[in-house]
A = this chain, B = another copy of it.
Amino acid sequence: MENHPSGVISNGKIGFSTPSFTRERDDEEPEICVHPYIPGWFSEYSPLWPGQAHLLNIEKIHFQGKSEFQDMLVFQSSTYGKVFVLDGALQLTEKDECAYQEMMTHLPLCSIPNPKKVLLIGGGDGGILREISRHSSVEEIDICEIDTMLIDVYKEFFPDVAVGYKDPRVKLHIIDGTLFLNSVPRGTYDAIIVDAFDPIRPDHELFESQFFELVSKALGPGGVLCIQAESICGVIGFLLCSTEGPYVNFRSPINPIDPENYGISNQPLKFYNSEVHSAAFCLPSFAKRSSNTKAKSTAN
């Protein structure tokens, strides 16, 4: 998402020239930019969702900086608490980060009987670590994050999210997830959670098939993967997969969380529960028809 593509809007009515809030203006950029910009507001315009934008009021900018890898912005919004933005894309707000972190963690971990070793790729904010920490069966939590500045910024401005790093089971590896996976003995993990990239990449397909192969090798029999997937109806989608071995029925969580065990957090679960878990797999009719059609054409 480093460059918003031009040409998405064809009516010539857009007359805004300022690029994304967090980016330095490049003199060679064209005057006409495809996304709106308003002083005092953060505007997210994603090529994933052309023709629309979401605006959040900025009350105060807490931090702006650039690491070796990406631009970062932390601001105070008027109704979502503090907001973290990475390369112009909204990553997390204090108000609703719970939904993403909890679902991404507990959908896989509550679907298998006794998760012991868990690997998180990305997720440098620490929120998923905080959620893994609620599972008492877990013995080792590895996290691969390349951007140490990102971790530091979260620790300073989002302590209730970065609290996950305080769990003594967590081991931080400053290394690219793919490289790390290459070094991991076969069948090491019970669950792998990937919170690392947007679905838009130029080398999308090649990258994906190689990456999924590595993940598959790193998982033991009946091991599970959870990764952010495209949204089919406006809400975040997750892709859940399991390796060969004991059958994993993701729709029926068999490993509920002890509600008294907050792990490293001092808060109970805000979003996840077993009912919401199962409900997340109920698809609207258009999506069911589409997956049926695809299954049929694959079968043929």
Spell out A's residues near B (CB within 8 Å).
8-11, 13-16, 36, 38-41, 43, 49-60, 77-80, 96, 98-99, 233-235, 268-273, 275-276, 278-280, 282-286, 288-289
Contact = CB atoms under 8 A, between A and B. Distances in A.
Nearest to A98: B286
B36 A11 contact: no
A31 B285 CA distance: 47
Nearest to A13: B40
Given A268-B285, A271-B285, A50 B38 contact: no
Nearest to A286: B270
B15 A40 contact: yes
19 contacts: A8-B78, A50-B57, A50-B79, A51-B79, A52-B56, A53-B54, A53-B55, A55-B55, A96-B234, A233-B271, A271-B286, A272-B284, A272-B285, A273-B282, A273-B285, A275-B282, A275-B283, A276-B283, A279-B279
B36 A13 contact: no
A54 B98 CA distance: 22
B78 A284 contact: no
B15 A49 contact: no
Majority-rule SS of A interface residues: loop
A50 B233 CA distance: 24
Given A14-B40, A284-B271, A285-B273, A52 B50 contact: no
A79 B47 CA distance: 12
Given A52-B79, A270-B284, 11 more contacts: A11-B40, A15-B39, A36-B41, A36-B55, A51-B56, A51-B57, A51-B79, A52-B56, A55-B55, A233-B271, A272-B284
A196 to B, nearest CB: 24
